[in-house]
Amino acid sequence: MEAFAALLDALVYTRSRNEKLRLIAQYLRETADPDRGWALAALTGGLDFAAVKSGTVRNLMKERVDAELWTLSRDFVGDTAETVSLLWPESGVDPDPPGVAEVVAMLSEMTRKTAPQGLPKLLDRLDESGRYALIKLATGGMRIGVSARLAKTAFAQAFDVSVDSVEEYWHALEAPYPELFAWAADGMDPPDTENMPTFRPFMLAHPLEETQVDLADYAAEWKWDGIRVQIVRAGDETRLYSRSGDDISATFPEMLDVLPFPAVLDGELLVQGNAQGGERGGAASFNALQQRLGRKTVSKKMMAEAPAFIRLYDALVVEGKDLRGQPWSDRRAQLEGLMAQLPETHFDLSQTVDARDFAHLAEIRESAREDAIEGLMLKRRDSPYIAGRKTGLWYKWKRDPLLIDCVLMYAQRGSGKRSSFYSDYTFGCWNGDPDAPDSSAELLPVGKAYSGFTDAELKKLDRLVRQTTLNRFGPVREVERTLVFEVAFDSVHSSKRHKSGLAMRFPRIHRIRWDKPVHEADRIESLRALIRD
């Protein structure tokens, strides 16, 4: 545990991506099995201890230190693990740090009933750094600037293997990954995943930005506003993977018995909307899909009201034949040939977009405001299917965002490097006319954003929040209504979860309007008029 704690400490204080890669790679080379495997699982978000949550830790602290001291300290520090590591009462005995594998075994055996007794025994055996590492590992909230992809890249660099190969084996294996280390570190045969429904890394696109492409070399197709998925059938088993490689099969069980042959297909998961007369229509908005995301169990009623289907983009493997090295045009032709074998209730094909030239394509893009269309994809006709983003092969050309002026209402501290700054902002629009005589107009929250500003702007915003705070509600500060944000977003939908009755899709701060009076911010009616549910 000492080496893992030292690694986390070093990662927290390191901004350089290359240095993070070096630190993780060094740890993986120098640490023995199975500790390094469990550590790798922790860094990639692969551990979940149901009995130990942040609430468990908070309750332990309130039993050992003054509750007000804990609340103020946590608010000031901005990170639960760091606060616990500093405030935990010393046991009076020399530390006896367990190994990572021992910690994982003990946490796995804990229940909600035994965790309040078992977790303190572990904390008492550790020093300050060890306590920090334990809480991070136990609660799963690393927030140390290390993504799952970066950790896998560090693994690949540590043992001089391909990160794409690591990705392909990864999702068929379980922590602490003994087969993966045996292959990469010890030169053993690769893990046998041939008859397992394993994930393949997605091919991704670069933003088009100012580039124009020749439509003789590129095919255009719609970019759909669902979630990118990969449906895989192998060994009489089907799984559904998200873009990040998470297994989401349980959330969409209706997709698990509809692929009739071994294959790996790439597409967009959508839900069907209702047409007139109760018939099923085309793809519904992302808001409809969102009702099903993240659910551990899905009722028959929910599947009937929002049935899922996949709009297919590409074929990676069919009947054991790997097609990824073939040109896009050949893969597309084979995918079109497969459609007759797939049930129309659960699959359709993403159509290509015909245009006379690039200017005509731009006109088509601008006119598309359907619920489920996010923009266009431009794919080089001779491009193989290559994991990651490769310049010049695929481009995404998203619709220009919608813009609206909103007023800053609430702020909350961020996490990780932003834990000392108020960087998460809730903003609202006017319900009524604030310029009318005897106006009773009020601001209603319509969204929340934490991106779109520079570090310098963040410092200025943080200072404004601290200087204009009206009320505190736990970690949230209500501020004076003095600042207008120009907010960019992709779409807006009706929502019963918010007082305004609205929910934005992908809101981000486009511009800070230091110059604009708050009474000139937009009205709820302006936002509601953009709904296309």
Q: Please give, one letter per residue, the 3-state secondary structure of 318-369.
A: ECCEECCCCCHHHHHHHHHHHHHHCCCCCEEECCECCCCCHHHHHHHHHHCC
Asked whether residue 472 is assigned to any structural domain, the reply reads: yes
Same-domain pairing of 303 and 267: yes
Which segments of the chain have a pLDDT < 50?
275-279
Sign of CA dihedral 279, 285, 287, 292: positive
- Composition of the chain by helix, strand, coil, percent to 5: 35, 25, 40
Domain boundary among 362, 393, 424: 393
Same-domain pairing of 336 and 280: yes
Q: At 2, phi and psi to the nearest 5?
A: -65, -45
Same-domain pairing of 387 and 407: no
Q: Is 143 exposed, middle or buried (0-12, 13-18, 19+ CB in 10 A)?
A: middle
**pLDDT at position 533, please?**
52
Sign of CA dihedral 523, 529, 530, 533: positive
Same-domain pairing of 210 and 351: yes
| DSSP secondary structure letter of residue 496 | T
- Spatial neighbors of 56 by CB under 8 A, at least 6 apart, are 112, 115, 116, 119
pLDDT digits (tens, 9 = 90+) for 167-179: 889 988 999 999 9
Cα dist from 272 to 2, 167, 497, whole Å:
52, 32, 22
CB 167 within 8 A of CB 152: yes
Same-domain pairing of 338 and 218: yes
Structure tokens at 47: 């551990």
Same-domain pairing of 469 and 372: no
Same-domain pairing of 389 and 409: no
Structure tokens at 56: 């468990």
Provide the domain limits for residue 272: 203-393
Asked whether residue 174 is assigned to any structural domain, the reply reads: no
Same-domain pairing of 226 and 357: yes
**pLDDT at position 499, please?**
86
Say what the pTM is: 0.75
Cα dist from 224 to 308, 311, 312, 341, whole Å:
14, 8, 10, 23
State which amino acid sits at residue 508.
R
Which H or E run includes 87? helix 80-87
Asked whether residue 275 is assigned to any structural domain, the reply reads: yes
Residue 201 CA neighbour count, 13 Å, CB half = 19
Domain boundary among 342, 372, 393: 393
CB 394 within 8 A of CB 383: yes
CB 402 within 8 A of CB 429: no
**pLDDT at position 274, please?**
62
pLDDT digits (tens, 9 = 90+) for 337-389: 999 999 999 999 999 999 999 999 998 988 776 657 888 999 999 999 998 88
**pLDDT at position 284, please?**
78
Residue 335, domain CATH: 3.30.470.30
Q: What is the b/e burial string over 376-396, where b = at least 16 CB atoms within 10 angstroms of the residue's CB?
A: bbbbbeebbbebeeeeebbbe
Asked whether residue 148 is assigned to any structural domain, the reply reads: no
Asked whether residue 297 is assigned to any structural domain, the reply reads: yes
Asked whether residue 108 is assigned to any structural domain, the reply reads: no
Same-domain pairing of 339 and 282: yes
Residue 429's region, left for phi above 0, alpha for psi from -120 to 50, else beta, is: beta
Domain count, the chain: 2
Asked whether residue 51 is assigned to any structural domain, the reply reads: no
Same-domain pairing of 389 and 406: no
Distance (Å, whole) CA 302 – CA 294: 13
Asked whether residue 307 is assigned to any structural domain, the reply reads: yes
Residue 491, domain CATH: 2.40.50.140
Helix axes 128-139, 100-109, angle to 10 degrees: 50
**pLDDT at position 346, please?**
96
Domain boundary among 393, 427, 456: 393
Same-domain pairing of 310 and 408: no
Same-domain pairing of 256 and 332: yes
Q: Are strands 218-224 and 280-283 parallel, antiparallel or unpaired?
A: unpaired
